[in-house]
Amino acid sequence: MGIYTRARSRALLPITLSGVILFTGVAVSAKALSAPETNGTDIRSTSESSVTATVPDLSPAQESQSPDARSVDAATPEQSAPDTTAPVETPSAPTAPPVPDTVPIEQEVLAGAGAAVGDVVSQPRLVIPDPRQAPEVAPSTVGLPPGTPLTVHNGDLTIRTAGAVVSNLDIRGFVRVEAPNVTIKNSIIRGRATDSHAIMIYAGLGTSAGLRVLDSELAPTYKTPLTNGVYGYGFTLTRVDIHDVIDAVHIFGDNVTVENSRLHGNLHFENDPYHSDGSHDDSIQIQSGRNIRILGNTISGSYNAAVQITQDRDVVSNVTISGNKISGGGCTVNVAEKGRGPIAGLTVSRNVFGTSRFTCHMLVPPTTPLLGDGNTVEGGGALKVVRRAQ
């Protein structure tokens, strides 16, 4: 919730969990299983050949904790149900690579030709579209693909297995990622009722570098002034549809990419108990971090800002906002230095700007260099950039 100043391995051990199969260190995919649905599934890595996982119920006190405090722990093997699967040698969990200062463009696995998840191929995944030549990102091209078969998962999902792949789930709870190189794809996350923070995906512990969310939808069932989309850093969102939240993406660390996605329909409460002047809803808020890329998205529907940079937690640098169709907010791109100095490496280029409440496309302090060109206004007209200290 931002601020806006108005005067301001192939053979692995399978483990059955509630409607999912866990291949330790590699995958969780949804299949039609007979196991009953349970609450609070915990997916974690282990170096032992016999892997167990339990699904304890959350107490009311645990449910009311904030995402930073809430955790579901696995029981010891003696407490768990016996493992009925055939033993297979389990490889040790992969070691997460160090986070580089500069994030390279990732590669997408091509269909056919024996390609497998994790293979590096020659075709780049990322292409920044020129919005002056390409149409708006259509709802049918982002989010959960139509006709995707889903298995319902009731309760929160905590992922502690490095390299896990969560696929084809309808998650009626919150997702918390505590392991590196996790992939979530072809899924919908709906959250649950709570009086506390309602974050659809939390990746802010510093242990989830390399998280990818692909072809999925964040669609909260319960909507409050504390309902938010993705919180954290070290993640990539690709073709993700996020709506009915206060902040769609909330960043407080390095190495984040939001690409070819649709952020729209923010929640806004005029009577927000946390803000006397109403909800400060942003499509993307950046409180700290380096190497942040916002590329080829359709962004609309926020009251405060489409992209809000505040440096509330620490310095922000190397932010690229390019090839988007972007609108909303008082000023659509709103930058505040907050006494931490200029934002270095801020590039805003080749975007098509739509409407905003104050007919203000960018508000940037005069001490922050603004790089980039090729920005246009939908329907023609002049691009309005306000240079004012804040």
Q: Where are the domains of the chain?
A: 142-387
Whole-number Å distance between alpha carbons of 55 and 381: 57
- AA identity, residue 146: P
> What is the pLDDT at residue 350?
97
Tokens standing for residue 243: 């709506």
The alpha carbon dihedral of 101, 312, 297, 354 has a sign of: negative
Average pLDDT, the chain: 75
Q: Is the predicted pLDDT of residue 362 greater than 50, yes or no?
A: yes
Cβ atoms of 80 and 52 within 8 Å: the answer is: yes
Other Cβ atoms less than 10 A from the Cβ of 328: the count is 25
Beta bridge partners of 257: 236, 293
Place of tokens 């700007």: 353
> What is the pLDDT at residue 133?
46
* Mean pLDDT score, 5-16: 37
User: Comparing 5-19, 46-60, 231-245, which segment has the lowest mean pLDDT?
Assistant: 46-60
> What is the pLDDT at residue 1?
52
- AA identity, residue 208: S
H/E/C letters for each residue in the chain? CCCCCCCCCCCCCEEEECCEEEECCCEEEECCCCCCCCCCEEEECCCCCCCCCCCCCCCHHHHCCCCCCCCCCCCCHHHCCCCCCCCCCCCCCCCCCCCCCCCCCCECCCCCCCCCCCCCCCCECCCCCCCCCCCCCCHHHCCCCCCCCCEEEECCEEEECCCCEEECEEEECCEEECCCCCEEECCEECCCCCCCCEEEEEECCCCCCCEEEECCEECCCCCCCCEEEEEECCEEEECCEECCCCCCEEEECCCEEEECCEECCCCCCCCECCECCCCCCEEEEEEEEEEEEEECCEECCCCCEEEEECCCCCCEEEEEEECCEECCECEEEEECCCCCCCCEEEEEECCEECCCCCCEEEEECCCCCEECCCCEECCCCCCCEEECCC
pTM comes to 0.69
- Tell me the per-residue pLDDT of 87-106, one tens digit each, with 9 for 90 and over: 333 344 444 444 333 222 22
* Mean pLDDT score, 298-327: 97
Q: Is the predicted pLDDT of residue 146 greater than 70, yes or no?
A: yes
For residues 194 and 91, the model is more confident at 194
* Mean pLDDT score, 204-227: 96
User: Comparing 26-30, 156-160, 237-241, 310-314, which segment has the lowest mean pLDDT?
Assistant: 26-30
Query: CATH second-level architecture of 142-387?
Result: 3 Solenoid (2.160)
- Tell me the per-residue pLDDT of 278-306, one tens digit each, with 9 for 90 and over: 788 999 999 999 999 999 999 999 999 99
> What is the pLDDT at residue 138?
57
- Phi (first) and psi of residue 78, to 5 degrees: -70, -25
Q: Can you give the C-alpha Rg of the chain in angstroms?
A: 21
Whole-number Å distance between alpha carbons of 364 and 129: 25
> What is the pLDDT at residue 277?
75
